[in-house]
Amino acid sequence: MVKRGIVILLLMNCILQGCSKGGEPARETEYAETEQSAEPATKEEGSDTRRFTAGDGSFSVFLDEDWMEEEVSASYWLVAGEEDQSVCIMQFPKEYSDLMVDNMDSVKALVNEKWDMADPVPGEAPPDLKLKNKEAYEYKTEADGESERGYVIFGETDYAFYSFLYDYNRLKADNLEAVMDCLATFDETPLDNELDWNHISGTETIRWFNAVYALESERAGWDPNHYVGAPLNERIRLEDQRYLKEQWNVADKESADKTVAWFLEKGYRAEFQKSNEYLKEEGLGDVPADRRTEFMLDNWDVTETEAGYYLKDYEMYEEYGPEAVAAWDYEHAMSLLRHFYVAGYYSHQEMLEKMYEIASVIQGEFDSWDDYMDSCFLGYEYWSDESSRPLREVYEDLKQREISPYSVDFKTELIREWAE
């Protein structure tokens, strides 16, 4: 890997970790590596450059034929270079992206912060570069204790915001003009918002499915009323593959099956039940509320803070019973199923059949959306040891919207239209 590429990849990972949608820590399950579907770099006849293409195919650019491309986790970013210089093109799609930027200013702020750009001086962007609202700056930075120089270009298209970064040391300063000429060959190929993946949408049953994980869709920046939350295209597919691999150790059908089975057969509720039943057997329930902390400290090797967490969970167990957090597991299972479909690990039929199975369980265990969501919030508090108030506020907002995912009746008769 080129030196400049190492620095850029580390910074790009910081951006992904700081801006992307969250999830629970990955559990230890085996998975097979997945590959990005990047188009191989192709040489331009009669030239000393070749085409480099983003992993999702949404843009390409001609760069020096001797440069090496580096693997990146975001399919809509591109890094290539050599020992003393490298180019990084970051695309920030304007719709259905897990990167939390919504305008050009937020892109500039994010890049400036992560790259620690010093002494920026306004420059000129290549006039032939096909971007709107272009801005260019020359800056200084440091890498491995050495002073480096860089050039950044910001701009946008109807499809996405962009940042072009060229990092180089003083020995490569004469290459700036040639690299700018290369960047001017940038060509965007916006992804269609629908692949030819057969699906249905808009029925009462599908709307009911969407409502189960509407809160997660809203928090991830997806549309809680859209079928599976987002349009289906290659970028979304690759994003979901990355998300599933990093957060859940899921990278194929087998690991997807194991994960959803864990939520249905055990889930977080199994540990919730086990730990609280143990505390009950040890007599915690017979201890007056004002003496329970002392009881915990006297009988177990825990701090007062840890004792507080256990007591909060036990009070939840006493008040709501052993299945108090069950909806947290069901919500995860339903939401992951749509991710398995979008990522290409489940067929449309497999996703819907499994969703139907889980939805039937949810309807059997809960009486209303409020009842179901209360259990989700308890599950969140058990898992995170944090207040669920922010989530409850999002839920209340979703309920009040003119087009609300929760307008579908909780007791709607679920029909397997896809099987007819």
Dihedral sign (CA 226, 231, 236, 241): positive
Residues in the chain where the model's pLDDT stays below 50: 1-11, 17-40, 46, 171, 195-200
Helix axes 326-343, 369-384, angle to 10 degrees: 90
State the Cα torsion 354-356-359-364 to the nearest 10°. Answer: -110
Write down the pLDDT at residue 36. Answer: 38
3-state secondary structure (DSSP) of residue 10: helix
Write down the pLDDT at residue 171. Answer: 47
Which residue intervals of 1-153 are DSSP H helices?
A: 3-19, 104-115
pTM score: 0.64
3-state secondary structure (DSSP) of residue 73: coil
Task: State how far the Cα of 28 lies from the Cα of 241, in Å rounded to an integer.
Answer: 17
Residue 71 β-bridge partners: none
Chain centroid offset of residue 419 CA: 31
Each residue of 108-141: pLDDT tens digit? 888 887 777 777 889 888 888 999 999 999 887 7
Task: State how far the Cα of 146 lies from the Cα of 138, in Å rounded to an integer.
Answer: 17
CB 135 within 8 A of CB 154: yes
Each residue of 202-233: pLDDT tens digit? 688 988 999 999 998 888 777 777 776 666 67
Task: State how far the Cα of 216 lies from the Cα of 339, in Å rounded to an integer.
Answer: 12
Of 48, 371, 27, 41, nearest in space to 181 by CA: 48
Task: State how far the Cα of 270 lies from the Cα of 173, in Å rounded to an integer.
Answer: 61
Write down the pLDDT at residue 146. Answer: 64
3-state secondary structure (DSSP) of residue 91: strand
Task: State how far the Cα of 387 lies from the Cα of 382, in Å rounded to an integer.
Answer: 9
Q: What does the longest C-alpha to C-alpha distance in the chain come to?
A: 85
Write down the pLDDT at residue 202. Answer: 66
Task: State how far the Cα of 169 lies from the Cα of 203, in Å rounded to an integer.
Answer: 59
Write down the pLDDT at residue 286. Answer: 93
Which residue intervals of 176-291 are DSSP H helices?
A: 176-183, 204-212, 214-219, 234-248, 253-265, 267-281
Residue 201 CB neighbours (<10 A): 11
Strands of the sheet containing 49-53, edge to edge, are: 42-43, 49-53, 59-64, 187-188
Residue 216 β-bridge partners: none
Write down the pLDDT at residue 57. Answer: 83
Task: State how far the Cα of 36 lies from the Cα of 24, in Å rounded to an integer.
Answer: 24
Cα-only R_g, the chain:
25
Write down the pLDDT at residue 143. Answer: 59
Q: How many residues does the chain have?
A: 420
Burial 173-191 (b: 16+ CB within 10 A, else e): eeebeebbebbebbebeeb
DSSP string, 121-172: EE----TTS--EEEEEEEEEEEETTEEEEEEEEEEE-SSEEEEEEEEE-GGG
Q: Residue 199 phi/psi, 5° resolution?
A: -155, 165
Of 352, 107, 113, 91, nearest in space to 239 by CA: 91
Instruction: Please give the span between the terminal C-alpha atoms of the chain, in angstroms, as a whole number.
Output: 53
DSSP string, 357-418: HHHHHHHHH-SSHHHHHHHHHHHHHHHHSS--HHHHHHHHHHHHSSS-GGGS-TTPPP--GG
Chain centroid offset of residue 364 CA: 31
Write down the pLDDT at residue 106. Answer: 87
Write down the pLDDT at residue 29. Answer: 30
